[in-house]
Structure 1
């Protein structure tokens, strides 16, 4: 029986494991194994809502073991340390508990085909002090660390009669969405008397972006509208500002400016995880695995890569697919169809179709651009309509994993829960 191992249970990896499990695993045509260092899945585009306290990750996570049992694949919890391509062997490190105790020793896993879907990690661009003095939003643990630090700063400032300064480095989608959510969180915390700060005067949120506008990868209309919305909320936007150094309590820019910061969040870019550099396959400048139009690595036909850790250049326009959830979703669909096909001699080329992008501006608004149709026309959207579409993206992700009925039941359960619990976590 052929063994297909998928490393990484993110948006692309978990969907691929689910599709292959249903197509091949249930009927014994292949052994499908998903490997991830964490026992649960959380949709990464919503990490900013965990950091702001809006969402409880335990309510919205997917248990890998349960998903595997329901959809015909296996799950192994562990962190990949190295891959021996010659013997087609995957080596996993020990599985440890939260207190560091070793629960399982290191293990090895043989594969016939390997799919790397291990996502991305924060890229600090070798800025001095950035890694040591900044928080990131790479996973749920990082988001919870920020949330607790932010809550502690607000409570301490209430006692010392000081203020709270939050600096977000990076004006992409993560930075913009986090800033907008924090604006509403600090007001909700004041409503519940968790601090005595004046949200408008005592809490300052700043975004530092080195390019000339926020959301530089998106349509200029989206950038302008997002910046106007943030400025109306009192959020400081610093464009054309490059960070030179990050120290404890201050962010220094290349022009000599100093930005006081109680908590610094680095959201300025991503790169592939370090494990990608150990494979001995061609990589690009941010360690992404260069793949062919069939999503195979250039030097090993038994190894595939999808999602943020892969770089696939479209032959028609010469542009690489961006690190977005919709890219991982489309690549998972493409690869599942090809690996499940009995005749895989000639794989077609993967072609990414950009359906647009949406950016959340808090609980009541969003902005974005939709594209599609025969002429690839773009339609600019904003306000409540964009907010509704933004919420539907997450529901579509859950539906692709668990089907319409479970998605609908979960949506109803989450709506009921939102009516009987505080709008943000208070501890």
Structure 2
């Protein structure tokens, strides 16, 4: 088997996000299992979590340990190899990638820096938070790119509530103890987090972790530079979501450009000062800086420019997809949006394209199908629109149906990773756990 793998076509996928992990799982099941290809996943983290869940981790309504997937285990089950480490470079002439050394929490080296050869390279390293050079933002605001950042925010939130009820925090104009959370950016992450935090405040109160009034004493502010929240979605979805947030006593501030973030406040261009015990930055994303160093064409946003086959313009042996790629969307005369549904569709497409390439056949052309967008407001509601081939037009949905559709997106991801039986068992397991655990992680 080792000899077979040594001579087999070597496919490296860099990035174990939703699309990358789905792709290596399918390639491993079909090509790796049969020895037709050696499939390798490279990621700097040892575990995977579906990134749209991070706002729930930050609010404490989801325990990440029950939803994380070990890459090593997935590799064993689905016949691919996992290499932990961060991409630092690509030598296209020698067809190798450079991977940084991997260290533990104490800084001790676990794996050395190394080179990995490839025949086909797929870049799927996602995106990172963009602070737009706002003074104090990187120092005082918490991004939600990783589980560690989300867990850090959750711990700080609980600590702030405990301090406030014991008279060690700030007080409002009415003399009551008060906790303020500022969320900068009213895209999907910021909006979903605000609703989850309102639920968290109620649950923490119910379990006696604080005696604050969940709505009056725990203030949540959503700050958006544009004229409305959810700018990437339709005006109706934006308007309905604004109404729902205000019913939850979420302070929605639009047309407020943040100019500075301090350790206890957010300042805006209109001279507003929003008190903040905790600040979350959800105002934008950008491509990882390493992409600009690879010698491949990039867009103004730093994404790898790809054609209709998802191959890079400079090298047909290198593909890119997901948030790190600028993929044409001819129907809209723009690029494919950075959404989970796009990464899922591109992963499915690339599985077929790579197999066609190995067989010497012409590659198909990727066509993105927009099925709409959904925004979850936690236990309170969900809103969104269904579009395109799904219903033959567009339709606004909210409430129970929208919540069901939103949950189905994650279940589709689990289905792609574990199959129908695995997805069914995962669903039942989490339902049973929800009946015996608090609705919010309390420690």
Q: TM-score, normalized by length of structure 2? A: 0.94
Distance 1:358 1:2 in 2: 39
Q: Which residue of 1 aligns with 2:287?
A: 272
Structure-2 residue corresponding to 1:27: 34
How far off is 1:61 after superposition? 1.2
Equivalent of 2:431 in 415, 418, 424:
415
C-alpha distance in 2 between matches for 1:348 and 1:97: 42
Contact 2:369/2:389 (8 A) holds in 1: no
Structure 1 Cα separation of the partners of residues 360 and 271 of structure 2: 58
Whether 2:380 is the aligned partner of 1:373: answer no
- In the alignment, is residue 11 of structure 1 matched against residue 18 of structure 2? yes
Give the alignment's Cα RMSD to 1 decimal: 1.3
What corresponds to 1:104 in structure 2? 111
Candidates 390, 407, 410, aligned match of 1:391? 407
Correspondence for 1:60 among 55, 67, 71: 67
Which of 28, 51, 57 is residue 58 of structure 2 equivalent to?
A: 51
* 1:123-144 Cα distance to aligned partner (Å, 9 max, x none): 1112122111110000111111
SS of 1:182 mapped into structure 2: helix
Query: Separation in 1 of the partners of 2:165 and 2:390?
Result: 57
Which aligned segments of 4 or more residues in structure 1 are displaced greater than 2 angstroms?
Answer: 341-346, 372-376
The residue number in structure 2 matching 1:352 is: 368
Q: CA offsets, 1:185-222, max 9 Å, x none?
A: 01100111111211122111000111111101111111
Structure 1 residue 345: Cα displacement: 4.3
Rate the CA distance shift 1:375–1:52 in 2: closer, same or farther, 3 A: closer
Q: Does 1:178 align with 2:185?
A: no
1:133/1:248 contact within 8 Å kept: yes
Matches within 5 A, 1:131-142: 131-142=138-149
CA deviations 1:56-97 (Å, max 9, x no partner) are: 111011111111111111111111122222211111111111
**2:329, 2:335 within 8 Å by CA — same for their partners in 1?**
yes
Aligned to 1:73: 80
**Which one of the candidate residues 112, 126, 133 is aligned to 1:126?**
133
1:406 pairs with 2:413: no
Write out per-residue CA displacement over residues 349-391 of structure 1, whole angstroms, 9 at most, x where no aligned residue: 2110000111001124100000133884001110111111111
Aligned to 1:187: 202
Whether 2:246 is the aligned partner of 1:239: answer no
* Structure 2 residue 47 is matched with structure 1 residue 40: yes
* Length, aligned pairs only: 427
CA contact under 8 A between 1:364 and 1:384: conserved in structure 2?
no
2:54–2:150: 8 Å Cα contact kept in structure 1?
yes
- What is the match of residue 307 of structure 2? 292
**Residues 415 and 422, structure 2, Cα contact 8 Å, conserved in 1:** yes
1:117–1:308 contact (8 Å) kept in structure 2: yes
DSSP 3-state at the match of 2:35:
coil
Q: 1:152 aligns with which of 159, 162, 172?
A: 159
Contact preservation (8 Å) 2:371, 2:390 = no
CA separation in 1, counterparts of 2:260 and 2:297? Answer: 31
**1:301 aligned partner:** 316
Change (3 A) 1:417 1:269: same
Task: State the distance in 2 between where 1:97 and 1:192 align.
Answer: 36
Instruction: Determine the C-alpha separation between the residues in 2 that align with 1:89 and 1:183.
Output: 48
Question: Aligned partners of 1:321 and 1:40: how far apart in 2?
Answer: 27
Q: Distance in 2 between matches of 1:71 and 1:290?
A: 30
The separation in 1 between residues aligned to 2:420 and 2:24, in whole angstroms, is 18
Q: Tell me, in whole angstroms, the C-alpha distance in 1 between the residues paired with 2:314 and 2:433.
A: 50
* 1:116–1:304 Cα contact (<8 Å) kept: yes
In 2: Cα distance, 1:330 partner to 1:242 partner = 35
Q: Aligned-pair distance for 1:258? A: 1.1
